A and B are shown apart, each in its own frame.
Chain A
Amino acid sequence: MNGMTEDKAGRVLEVIREFANVGAGNAATALAAILDIELVNEVTSCNILPLSKVARWLGGEEQIVAGVYTQLCGDLKSGILVVFPKNSTEMMLKHMTKEDVDLANLNLIQGSALREAGNICLCWYLVAVSRMIDTDLIPAPPDAAIDLLGAVLDLPLANLGAKVDTVIAVHTRFKGWDSEFDGYFLMLPEEQMLRVILEKMGDGSK
């Protein structure tokens, strides 16, 4: 974060952790219902990263992931990307559809299930963010892709273009009784959105 002292960055991260925990908790409850398993969740890390570091934080451009992406429709603009690693995606889709999963060729139901799982996660995180900054946030219905991580990140980066270089990233581990999976929530706010978030997080002097 340019121009932010370590102290401030630490405080902002604290607030991010707070909304991340609320969002992840809600997402876990909702996912548990559609997966039909008991789930607990743990927010393992929160971060504020420049765009160029995101791929490495997520484990490298060449790994295969599922990405569910959308944008906010209101006055405040932001890209929202939920990323599930390959194994997590397979496990989740298998649970949801009770069918074998071939990530190279998802059938219609599985594609839809993936979009829905992503939608549920991103909406619940957004609700948490929305309450925290006391502003309505309306996402468009998302689309999903299963591909190389670098490729999945391209469009979100291109949409931000030259404007901002800050990504809010949260990693959550969802644990069931015999399985666990990971979800990454990435928020790519445009300038005004980022300012609002930082202000409401008690960093108004920035």
Chain B
Amino acid sequence: MTGLTTVVLLFGLLAAFLAVIFRGNRGLDVVCILSMLMLAKLSAETAVFLVASSIVIPVTLKTEWARGNRTLTLATLATLLLAGLAISRHTELILWVGVSYFVLRHLHVLIEWWLRRLDAPSIPDYFRYQFFLPVLVAGPINRFPQFKREMSRRRVTNDSVLMGLERVLLGVASIVIIANWALRRALEMVQASMVSEPLFFQQWVSGCFEWLQIFFSFGGYSAVAIGLARIVGITIEENFNAPWRAADLVDFWRRWHITLSSWVRDYLHGPVSAHFRWPATGAFASMIAMGLWHDFSWYYVGWGLWQGLGIVLTQRLGVSHGRAYTWCLRLSVPVWLTLTKPVVSFFTSLL
């Protein structure tokens, strides 16, 4: 297990314990302070970026000038945030922690304010939201209005503590036992027995394992975050909803990394589709953005194009033509997803 995960989990449990002792917003303030200390210890650059942006955004949004120039304010702040994200992606010598998550949280608040669906947040509330330790490092990308609602009705009960602890235990078990041990060893054994197989087939098999590993490790991290939040009496949005039960590829992206896909759907897919009056552009733009959110590389541009193509094809074939057809659509999900790695690797190797 990595040192980073250990530190984050220990700080998370300590923060949860303190937030149980201190009731109301004071408990969340303690979590916020602990979160800042942890971030400063792990990555001073990330701490500076997050503290500065968490002060600048609510202060700017409260000014008369910003209220009179909403679009210009949004464009400026969003550009600065995206530039910060790009810098964090290209400075490999510095350890950045959770930048891609808090940048999306900032952008969500900015866009909601620009759409006049959200008032400028107060600095203390915004700090509690951005420095909420359970979700700081690996999401879920929770939304501000729901978090504010949860803050106002936060109540720690025996049930919430027990359910939260169980969720944390199951999450850690999913990461440590299934993803990091069982699946890794299984992949090593399979790879050792496939040395003479064609490269395409090898990549397809490792692609299968990658999806499983992401599900069990990232799903585990999400479970830990949701569990820690539950202990302190705050309900956080779920990140996975039985993705293996997806009826088709479109349905899959509603069930997989839900907080990211819903962010992209609300702030990118809808506006782009409406602007071009063609849903396919929205699908491609969303999936490329999701790919680039993972990493700024040609592989992830190809990843986005492949997933976008899958969604467009699914939407074209979407009308049900009976039971066999429904099953074909259902089966197309694992086939399409596991083909991502070999197909995209092949095309990016041509570049």
Q: Do A and B come from one complex?
A: no
Chain B residues close to A by CB (< 8 Å): none
